[in-house]
């Protein structure tokens, strides 16, 4: 699949996105939201998305502590969130923790939530891919391939 | 044996014979009416979705988890699930969009370590069954590295589970898909048939969750209604 290169001018990160996806940079607390266009999915269907959030953290923020706190907040905020997987590796030379969870997004909506968390340039970064759980096999995989291209400029170990 | 029914959730807990009769269209057992599952000769409204899913299923799944078995009937909008619970069977329903979640829950899918080294093991189905039953890879005809790798996971065995989905296929479909997993606290194996043997492939909960979501037939795999 051809992907489109994206660079966030202010925060200095790059990522490749699925072609033709709708991009928003003007949402509060969200650096980037890339979401399926409404005209390419059936009406009323949950639109898969990939978002990037950059957060200030305390001095000396460590990845495990950051992930634990971030997950704890999500478990408190989301209905019936259940952690399915957790993995740690390097993304562009930077340690990253990838998690997969699902939660209840409504009476008839189950959401798969795959996330990548890393610390770079003193900020905590969270990439979140969401899709309805039954589409995760297709859409989730496409979003995951894009997430793996995420790089923070100037990030060092 | 008792029959219990929750009108709030539409969940029925009953002996196998009672459930079989209900799903088979026999006259409802009196215990069903006594429990409130049958009202004035008709199923309680909250039980209706499960019965409709059974009747209108496009896909039926057989669930195997160790010695226990269950079933799922999937219609486009709603699924019914039947699983054993404390010597009885529990029948309930959920929207079809929740199917991967439901299958993940009944199989206790959750974070697991990765199998290292991530190599494939070829083994006969009989030897695999014996290895799982005895929790021993000895005598399975494996080389030293394979035997050690498999033994580490058998020592941490949680469960061997399998889901087989079947449907009336179109010409473009085999009409069946299977997810089979050896789940352990030392990692997960995916069991892949390979001629007269099976292959154990190291897998992850993420890959398994993807496979659960992919069990249902796609539109082109179902005959077009005439």
Subunit contact B101:A137, Cβ cutoff 8 A: no
pLDDT in tens, chain A (157 residues): 689 999 999 999 999 999 989 999 999 999 999 999 988 888 888 999 999 999 987 677 899 999 999 999 999 999 899 999 999 999 989 999 999 999 998 887 899 999 999 999 989 999 999 999 999 988 999 999 999 999 999 876 5
Domain limits for position A132: 4-152
Residue of A nearest to B187 (CA): A85
Q: Does the residue A119 lie in any domain?
A: yes
Pick from A130, A144, A140: nearest CA to A16? A144
Q: Which of A40, A42, A37 is nearest to A23 (CA)?
A: A37
Contacts of B213 in chain A (CB under 8 A): 112, 133-137
Q: Do B110 and A84 touch (CB under 8 A)?
A: yes
Task: Calculate how close chain A gets to B213, using CA atoms only, in Å.
Answer: 5
Whole-number pLDDT of residue A157: 54
- CB-CB contact of A4 with A16 (8 Å): yes
The predicted structure's pLDDT at residue A60: 79
Q: And the tokens for A98? A: 């990838």
Structural domain includes residue A59: yes
**Which residue carries 């390097």 as its tokens?**
A90
ipTM: 0.92
Contact state of B111 with A108 under an 8 Å Cβ cutoff: no
| E-assigned strand segments in B50-196 | 59-65, 68-74, 78-85, 88-95, 121-123, 157-167, 176-184, 187-194
- Residue closest to B94 by CA, chosen among A80, A135, A46, A108: A108
pLDDT averaged per 10 residues in sequence order, chain B, 226 residues? 93 95 86 94 95 96 96 96 96 95 97 96 95 94 94 98 97 96 98 92 97 94 84
Beta-carbon separation of B204 and A135 below 8 A? no
Whether A68 maps to a domain, the answer reads yes
Neighboring chain A residues of B111 at a CB cutoff of 8 Å? 83-86
For B185, list phi and psi in degrees, rounded to 5.
-75, 0
Alpha helix positions (H), chain B:
16-24, 30-35, 48-55, 99-106, 125-134, 144-155, 205-213
A157 part of a folded domain: no
Interface residues from chain A to B (CB-CB < 8 Å) = 82-87, 100, 102, 107-110, 112, 114, 132-137, 140-141
Q: Do B100 and A134 touch (CB under 8 A)?
A: yes
Contact at CB, A84 and B111, closer than 8 angstroms:
yes
Q: What is the pLDDT of residue B187?
A: 98
Q: Model's pTM, two decimal places?
A: 0.93
Q: Which residues of B touch A132 (CB under 8 A)?
A: 97
Q: For residues B42 and B47, give the distance between their C-alpha atoms in angstroms, rounded to a whole number.
A: 10
Partner residue opposite A137 with nearest CB, options B97, B114, B214: B214
Instruction: Give the chain A residue whose CA is nearest to the CA of B98.
Output: A110
Residue A110 falls inside a structural domain: yes
Which residue in this structure is represented by tokens 């494996």?
Answer: B142
φ/ψ of residue B224, rounded to 5: -70, 130
Residues of B with CB under 8 A from a CB of A: 95-101, 104-105, 109-112, 114, 204-206, 209-211, 213-214, 216
What's the pLDDT score for residue A57? 74
Cis peptide bond upstream of A117, omega within 30:
no
A110·B111 Cβ contact <8 A: no
Could B101 and A87 be called an inter-chain contact, meaning their C-beta atoms sit closer than 8 Å?
Answer: no
Residues of A in contact with B210 (CB under 8 A): 136-137, 140-141
Among chain A residues, the shortest Cα distance to B79 is held by A108
pLDDT at B194: 84
CATH number for position A30 = 3.40.1000.10
* Domains held by chain A: number: 1
Which chain A residues have a beta carbon less than 8 Å from that of B217? none
Chain-chain contact of B99 with A134 (C-beta, under 8 angstroms): yes
């Amino acid at each position: 699949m051809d992907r489109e290169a994206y660079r966030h001018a202010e925060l200095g990160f790059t990522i490749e996105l699925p072609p033709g996806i709708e991009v928003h940079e003007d949402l509060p607390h969200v650096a980037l939201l890339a979401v399926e266009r409404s005209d390419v999915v059936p009406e009323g269907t949950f639109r898969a998305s990939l978002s990037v959030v950059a957060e200030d953290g305390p001095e000396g923020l460590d990845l495990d502590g950051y992930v634990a706190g971030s997950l704890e907040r999500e478990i408190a905020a989301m209905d019936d969130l259940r952690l399915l997987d957790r993995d740690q590796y390097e993304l562009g030379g930077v340690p990253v923790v990838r998690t997969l969870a699902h939660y209840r997004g409504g009476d008839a909506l189950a959401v798969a939530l795959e996330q990548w968390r890393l610390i770079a340039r003193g900020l905590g970064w969270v990439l979140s891919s969401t899709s309805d759980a039954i589409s995760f096999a297709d859409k989730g995989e496409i979003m995951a391939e894009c997430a793996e291209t995420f790089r923070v400029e100037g990030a060092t170990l | 044996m008792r029959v219990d029914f929750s009108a709030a959730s539409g969940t029925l807990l009953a002996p196998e014979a009672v459930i079989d009769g209900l799903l088979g269209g026999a006259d409802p057992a009196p215990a069903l009416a006594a429990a409130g599952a049958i009202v004035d000769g008709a199923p309680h409204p909250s039980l209706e979705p499960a019965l409709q899913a059974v009747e209108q299923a496009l896909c039926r799944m057989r669930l195997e988890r160790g010695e226990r078995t269950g079933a799922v009937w999937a219609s486009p909008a709603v699924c019914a699930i039947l699983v054993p619970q404390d010597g009885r069977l529990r029948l309930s329903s959920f929207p079809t969009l929740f199917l991967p979640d439901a299958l993940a829950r009944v199989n206790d899918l959750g974070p697991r370590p990765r199998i290292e080294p991530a190599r494939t093991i070829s083994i006969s189905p009989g030897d695999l069954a014996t290895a799982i039953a005895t929790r021993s890879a000895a005598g399975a005809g494996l080389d030293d590295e394979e035997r050690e790798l498999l033994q580490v996971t058998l020592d941490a065995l949680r469960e061997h589970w399998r889901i087989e989905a079947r449907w009336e296929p179109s010409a473009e479909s085999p009409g069946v898909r299977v997810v089979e997993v050896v789940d352990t606290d030392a990692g997960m194996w995916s069991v892949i048939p390979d001629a007269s043997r099976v292959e154990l492939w190291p897998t992850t909960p993420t890959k398994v969750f993807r496979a659960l979501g992919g069990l249902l037939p796609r539109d082109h795999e179902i005959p077009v209604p005439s």
